Homo-oligomer: A and B are copies of this chain.
Amino acid sequence: MQSLQPLFIGIDGGGTKCKARLEDAAGRLLAEAIAGPANPATDFTQTLDSILTVCHSVLHKAGLPAESLAACRVVLGLAGVNVPRVQQRMQDWQHPFAALQVTTDLHIACVGAHGSADGAILITGTGTAAFASVQGEQMLLSAQGFPLGDRGSGAWLGWQGVAATLDVLDGLQPASGLTRQICRQLGAHNNSDVISCCIGYKAADYAKLAPLVLEQHIQGDPYAFAIMTQGLQYLQALLTRLQQSGAHRIAMIGGLAPQLKNCLPTALQLQLSDALGTPETGAIMLARLFYQEVVA
């Protein structure tokens, strides 16, 4: 097996899917693939299954035999491994690779965004999280999850929109463009309809309503404006904290990052950097670094 050319796989795993990138020793992209959810804090067995599926998939796409798995240096960046016992369980996995390193999805995203171990990221997608890695020290902020945290995220924006809509339907506030649109999207005519509709809602369901809040914010809707003001205030506080951490490069990433960034003061926008690469490229970089250290 040791005679095989080394291969590198970087994997970004989260609650909805995992993405893999395969590169050869010279840094050439051989293939990319997507498979199912990989959050070991939620479902450990499914995570291993998704990881093996996505690895077989990139090898197959690259025209390589399944046995090449034994030549792969793999870095997994996974949601959920900030919990120490979950991290331990992943590390203890009897994997079929040449080498495996497990870190957080935030860590690989940060390395992907900045091309080195140093830097900071603010993620705003379905959820919100902030991460800095400066001189070997990692700092994780806003990690409490929905609904206790995630202010400014898609889930939080949609959720706040629903709360405002219920106040209107309870007769406490006048209707607005936002609350009318939320009722239309939910097919709801009264507060009881909205409650029935949202009773089993998870973060991803609320996040589907976030575009309405973003649109109506631009239209000047008073509720959308109040919600966005509170969300942006929080995101700005997180960015200030990341700047204080000593990170020279800070990037906003995630599905809502472009739109939310545009709502920040221009002076602050100018202090932010664009992400250089994806989380998977960050994972590959860590895999290569890890392999070099092992070889040296």
List the interface of chain A (C-beta within 8 A of B): 82, 141-145, 147-149, 159, 162-163, 166-167, 170-173, 191-192, 194-195, 198, 234, 237-238, 240-241, 244
12 extra A-B contacts, CB within 8 A, seeds A141-B172, A172-B234:
A141-B191, A142-B170, A143-B192, A144-B166, A147-B147, A148-B166, A148-B198, A149-B163, A170-B238, A171-B241, A171-B244, A172-B237
Q: In the bound complex, what is the Cα–Cα distance between A166 and B140 (angstroms)?
A: 12
CA A7 to CA B84, docked complex, whole Å: 60
A147 — which chain B residues lie within 8 A by C-beta? 147
Given A149-B166, A171-B244, A244-B171, A191:B237 Cβ within 8 A: no
Chain B residues, CB < 8 A from A166: 144, 148-149
Cβ-defined partner of A172 (8 Å) among B144, B145, B194, B238: B238
Copies of this chain, whole number: 2
Cα–Cα distance between A233 and B194 once the two chains are bound (Å): 23
Judging by beta carbons under 8 Å apart, are B191 and A144 in contact? Answer: yes
Q: Closest chain B residue to A199 by CB distance?
A: B145
Does the CB pair B191–A241 fall under 8 Å?
no
Contact A195 B237 (CB under 8 A): no
Write 23 A-B pairs (CB below 8 A) sorted by A numbering.
A82-B192, A141-B171, A142-B170, A143-B191, A144-B191, A144-B194, A144-B195, A145-B195, A147-B147, A148-B159, A148-B163, A148-B166, A149-B163, A149-B166, A167-B237, A170-B238, A170-B241, A171-B241, A172-B234, A172-B238, A172-B240, A172-B241, A173-B237
